[in-house]
Amino acid sequence: MLPKLRFMKKSKTKKPIIMMKNKNEDNIYYRVLYTDDHIKKHYERKYSSSYMTISGEWSDNFWKDGFRAIEEYNLECFEGTFTKSAREYFIEIAKTKSSPHDEWSKNEKILATEIVGVYAFNNPQDTLDFGFGPHSNKNIYVQFEGKYLRDAVEDNGVQVIMIKILGEWDETEFIQKFKLTMPKY
């Protein structure tokens, strides 16, 4: 059984404030690939990320305010900048649910929370900390040049469009390459 789906709180403004504190001047970012699906898409050069938690703003628009015109579901939300197809999938899938508390399948969450670009970090240590754990023996760590879009919810997290891969490593190689501190999990 899947866990209950969490919803983020609705932002107080019509559009979220997009901070730029995590932007790297050299446009170099780091990403960890930790699921088979992430890894497969990466090698197919289909770079994407999904937030996996339905936007609180979208949830409120649909279940509290009643279904509204698709244009009233902002692509810029607290959680990130979503794709138009994610917004369309959200509405399509939400229509099949009786309440915001109904469970969503993993695939439904992936489709309804896809962001523009990918989630990444502005430094190797936070990337390792995010991906490290008992499951991390298959992780692939990527350094890339990217076009910054906005800060992400995670500390030192960013939402960026991948431009050019600069390197790929398994976890041990990544730790050695950047002389990182082994996190505790």
- Please list the rounded mean pLDDT of every run of 10 residues in the chain (185 residues): 40 52 91 90 92 91 88 91 96 93 94 95 96 82 97 92 97 96 82
Identify the helix (H) or strand (E) that includes residue 158.
Answer: strand 157-170
Which pLDDT score is estimated for 20? 73
40 touches 57 (CB < 8 A)? no
29 touches 124 (CB < 8 A)? no
**Residues 6 or more apart whose Cβ sits within 8 Å of residue 3:** none
Query: How many Å apart are CA 34 and CA 132, to the nearest integer?
Result: 9
Which pLDDT score is estimated for 138? 87
Query: How many Å apart are CA 31 and CA 157, to the nearest integer?
Result: 10
> Hey, where are the domains in the chain?
28-178
CA 5 to chain centre: 16
Which pLDDT score is estimated for 84? 96
Which pLDDT score is estimated for 65? 82
Which pLDDT score is estimated for 37? 86
